[in-house]
Structure 1
């Protein structure tokens, strides 16, 4: 027990038996005709904020201020340089909406993971199980801004710059503006709160809205790796996000050509595993909830890591999904406050499963 959190690591076989039994007893998640209410709170657009001014501000800072930023906000800066290919993701949406399950190429799942996001941001100041949750009543917006900007001149520059990245890159709801909900999350980061589940929740909301609306969700082209990548051992100082942002990308492929590439991909052509991250333990459950609930800045969404065990190079078995979809809700009205408290309490008891790699990569029960 540390800082009020309990992290339990469980045997893979025991979790598999529990998961398969639970799924048999409770049944599936989605009911016919279910429509998520989060779509009204999700911005899906290929239009980007102009970040050139922020890049110029960074270039003017001296090494001391830059080190201060990296110390407290990790590799967040490199998100400014991640390239976006609008044509690729228009093709992806068309592909997903034509004849295939969302986020799947054949039997290869295409879902980001909490562990991957944590490794990408690489921030030493966060506590991985101390999540952000929207307070029922908190300080006024002006008070939060005073907390952020009321320190030394160096701190003010660093914090306001980081807040801009969160508001304009990670959680952009209105172009050119930082939403008050983002400042609420940012105000909590100084307490060691991890922003990863909130970022992850927004990713899922946008991906789902993208599929429903046949529109395009803006994520880095590099998240789709078509080339085979050999495993490498990286040092603790290695920054995958820095390398990702600096990797040259082709920008001369048309939407039609991307669609042709996607339609002709075979399972062996796709590598959806980060070569720089092979965790031995996987977060799969919080408290008595059968999956991992994610609290974003505007709403909550359910995340089931046991659905994508092959992305961890672990054997895939049948996961429990009962009421997973009903985990979604928005932060409006009075009822959401109780549900936020329940999820926050569940995160005080995180559960992880030991990775288990073996052939075949899926159990017979899962294939059935």
Structure 2
């Protein structure tokens, strides 16, 4: 998940044991007493793998520094390229797979790979192991692959292929890119993607299924890949066992190392106890192993397997608390690139070096689905929420024993296991235990082997002790030489000390003078501080006055703006009136001109009238008045 994940809670072993025993007794197992297994007698497992030649060539051409950086960044996934898969062994163990309990049932022994074991093999450095891969509604694989390779989404689309129901990227396309970018960070990134798609999740041969792109992008962002690797391993085992055939699409290399570590761990180099520099995959590849058995030989051995024959805790397995539940269910949910499944690591506590008690298995077989099924998004969200509340249990004392009631529970438990028919094997069909004498003999041989191992360890420690004694003797000689040098140095030290004491006295005298001078400076500083305080007060007062002036200035500025607006208004009115007066003067001048013209015409008309009668005299008088009026108007304007 991309959100911050809370830390896991830690439960005491006693409380967990008591709670599981009481709950198991009241709720029962995941299979009812009347369950009848319908599994086929035989399983034909297809273990066809991709060709790793090109991947190995690229890996071998890298220098030691590049390979170390790759291991540090992505874990020891590239080491899986050199693991030889024992196909006969894997074809044998799938016959003993119980799809309901999600574990192998070898006679009276339950075993299953765990998240912690796969994490120890891959050596991936994680800040938060509970940050897991989770599938969204849309994976965005085109955009994510384009970003990883520094290309466009259109180029990705051109290289997408359809293989049945699966959308894939051809290995040849990624190989060409890696060869060009082999020594770059992007080249190493795509190399890691190819290993996940071709080795760890080989769903489509010669191709990388697009679901791996979304998964890998989250792994690069520090999601724990082990739960997802284990999820697809268990889902593939379930599918093949129920169908009686099928191609295994989990990581066959990790499964091979895991099973061999518990049964064929006789090689000294691979038996080394865990330490921080442990590299179990590399040590597995460098070790020589006994000659491979046939599938039938393995089946015969597993049918009659006893607890004393099992190397319960793998030598490379570190000590730490066991993740045994997520959320409210008493088991752990796993999400892979193509589906989800549950498993119960509490059923195999002996693989952690702890005492095995009766586990809770109620409803264990109810959670298994593929993405795309109805309601899968809701179930994914429930799983994501459950992983926010994980619980771990203390290992308790180191042992491979079981509690009193465990063996009874295991014998009476209804199992979803069908062994191959007797005619295909040598030996009895029913998983009956060997007689007590043989069990005692095996226990004795195991004890002798352990004694021989401790004896060899004792001899090695004796040799180491002798070596340490010689080193101590050499160190003593060096110490004596150092003592002589120490005496000379001591004399020099005494002389130097006396000189330093005299120098200190001189410095003390100078210090007294400096103290006096310092006191004077302190007084000056206090005076300056007081002056500064007064100046600060004056400054604050002036600042207040300045604020008042500033406000008055703003007020006057606003008044000035208004006055300017009024003046502009008056200027426009004056200009308008001036223009009107100028027009009136022009009109009055026109009137004067016309009046003078009329006076002139009146005078001409009067001169043409003779005062013969009374009417003529009145007319002349009237014309004289008109002339006088017109002449006055002309003179006035």
Relative contact order, higher structure (CA 8 A, sep 6+): 1
What is the aligned partner in structure 1 of residue 237 from structure 2? 207
- The change in CA–CA distance for 1:127 and 1:149 in structure 2 (over 3 A counts) is farther
Q: 1:55 deviation in Å? A: 0.2
Q: 1:324 deviation in Å? A: 1.2
Which deviations, in whole Å up to 9, do the C-alpha atoms of 1:327-366 show, x marking residues without a partner? Answer: 1111114511111111111111211000123778222232
Q: 1:158 deviation in Å? A: 0.7
Hey, what's the Cα distance between the residues in 2 that align with 1:360 and 1:168? 37
Q: What is the TM-score of this pair, normalised by structure 1?
A: 0.87
What is the aligned partner in structure 1 of residue 217 from structure 2? 187
Which deviations, in whole Å up to 9, do the C-alpha atoms of 1:110-149 show, x marking residues without a partner? Answer: 211111011111111463100000012342x220102222
What is the aligned partner in structure 2 of residue 71 from structure 1? 72
Q: 1:77 deviation in Å? A: 0.7
Secondary structure at the residue paired with 1:6?
coil
Equivalent residues in 2 for 1:22-33, closer than 5 Å: 22-30=23-31, 32=35
Aligned mate of 1:299, from 315, 332, 339: 339
- The change in CA–CA distance for 1:256 and 1:157 in structure 2 (over 3 A counts) is same
Which deviations, in whole Å up to 9, do the C-alpha atoms of 1:230-267 show, x marking residues without a partner? Answer: 87433312111111222233555433444444456443
Which deviations, in whole Å up to 9, do the C-alpha atoms of 1:149-171 show, x marking residues without a partner? Answer: 23986121111111111111111
- The change in CA–CA distance for 1:131 and 1:332 in structure 2 (over 3 A counts) is same
What is the Cα-based RMSD across aligned positions, in Å?
2.9
Q: 1:15 deviation in Å? A: 0.8
Secondary structure at the residue paired with 1:321?
coil
Indicate the structure (1 or 2) with the bigger Cα radius of gyration: 2
Hey, what's the Cα distance between the residues in 2 that align with 1:240 and 1:257? 26
Aligned length: 357
Secondary structure at the residue paired with 1:188?
helix
1:105 aligned to 2:95?
no
Q: What is the TM-score of this pair, normalised by structure 2?
A: 0.52
5+ residue gaps in structure 2?
152-180, 409-637
5+ residue gaps in structure 1?
37-42
Secondary structure at the residue paired with 1:178?
strand
Aligned mate of 2:358, from 290, 302, 318: 318
- The change in CA–CA distance for 1:45 and 1:356 in structure 2 (over 3 A counts) is same
Q: 1:200 deviation in Å? A: 0.6
- The change in CA–CA distance for 1:34 and 1:258 in structure 2 (over 3 A counts) is closer
What is the aligned partner in structure 1 of residue 195 from structure 2? 165
What is the aligned partner in structure 1 of residue 150 from structure 2? 150
Which deviations, in whole Å up to 9, do the C-alpha atoms of 1:197-233 show, x marking residues without a partner? Answer: 0001111112223433444754554423434658743
What is the aligned partner in structure 2 of residue 56 from structure 1? 57
* Bigger helix fraction: 2
Question: For the Cα contact (< 8 Å) 2:20–2:359, is it kept in 1?
Answer: yes
What is the aligned partner in structure 1 of residue 263 from structure 2? 226
Hey, what's the Cα distance between the residues in 2 that align with 1:271 and 1:253? 19
Hey, what's the Cα distance between the residues in 2 that align with 1:247 and 1:228? 10
1:363 aligned to 2:364?
no
